[in-house]
Amino acid sequence: MNFIIEPWHWLVLGVLLILFELILPSFAALWFGVAAILVAILFWLFPSLSLTTQIIFWIILSISCTLYWFKFIKPLSIDKTKAGLARESTIGQVGMVIQTDLTHDHVKVRFPMPILGADEWNCRTLSPVAVGDRVRVVDISGNDLVIQPHQSTQKPL
């Protein structure tokens, strides 16, 4: 008795591999499952594909999907905030003053990347600053960031 591979075999294999991903924490089986489903679609569109060709397509698609995940998708999910990090990682961050009319030498500063969970902070200043000035965090005092004007390292032309 000869066993003949049908497109639904690849589809079931793909769904099982994707479901198997529920117990694995690595996302590896997910991409093998996606590749199996893609092979099922290819085999359904081109029923004359040999078993060897199907397996080669599955291997190539599995590798391609996995590489695509690590190169393009996974970097998007990396948390770029500084929340939960030590004080030393906050000191030295550079931001821009967006408001100066606050009380007790406070100004509002926007940072390009969230610091301690927020991208805008009310900060204490060590010297006068104006809206649009670049400032650098030099200390943390209670719930406030202490800032001073940032000197650019570029030399004038």
Please give the CATH number for the structural domain made up of 83-149.
2.40.50.140
Question: So what's the pLDDT on residue 84?
Answer: 55
By mean pLDDT, which of 11-25, 31-45, 80-94, 116-130 is the weakest? 80-94
Q: Give me the chain's average pLDDT, please.
A: 84
Distance CA 13, CA 7 (A): 10
Q: How many helices (H) and strands (E) does the chain have?
A: 4, 5
Domain ranges of the chain: 7-77, 83-149
Distance CA 2, CA 82 (A): 60
- 68-97: burial string, b at 16+ Cβ within 10 Å, e else: eeeeeeeeeeeeeebeeeeeeebeebebbb
